[in-house]
Amino acid sequence: MGTVLVVQPDPVIGAEWAGALTEEGHHVLGAEGIRSALDHVREGGIDLIILDAYEARVGTEIAAALERIPDAPPLVLVSALTNAPELSARIGAAGLVLKPCGPDEIASVVLRVTGSGVRPLIGFDDEPTGQIERRHFDGLPD
């Protein structure tokens, strides 16, 4: 699995996304803003960027900057903006996740975009607690 840069201004949400991606075997770096995100990209070794585009300007600014960086990684846009699909298409995003979303949706789009193999998510009723559990299915035991 590769290195994913999570650009998320909310450190709590960023940690949740990073946890889900780490669980999938990715190495995760974090950035709270465009400047630090671009610094990471310029250093190299980033395979994918997950960007929380809380404002349209954030998506367009980082996309414009990435165009000037040789071999820039693909970008997945995460947004609640009403024009998120149009913004995603305009900046050439490799994927789009509409908010509200959880860490599992972030992990799923990363798996899809990177082609690193999809682990199906299954739900089951945990009888002792009465809670619905969601876990990744890794296949049947030998």
- What is the rounded end-to-end Cα distance, in angstroms, of the chain? 24
DSSP reduced 3-state for 50: strand
Binned average pLDDT, 10 residues per bin, the chain of 142 residues: 90 94 93 92 94 86 89 92 90 91 92 65 54 47 45
Tokens (6 digits) for 2: 């590769």
The CA distance from 111 to 13, in Å, is 19
Q: Kindly report the pTM of this predicted structure.
A: 0.77
β-strand partners of 77: 51, 96
Residue 127 has a pLDDT of 61
Contact between 93 and 76 (Cβ < 8 Å): yes
Per-residue pLDDT reduced to its tens digit, 67-100: 898 889 999 999 999 999 998 998 889 999 999 9
Cα–Cα distance for residue pair 49/4, rounded to 1 Å: 6
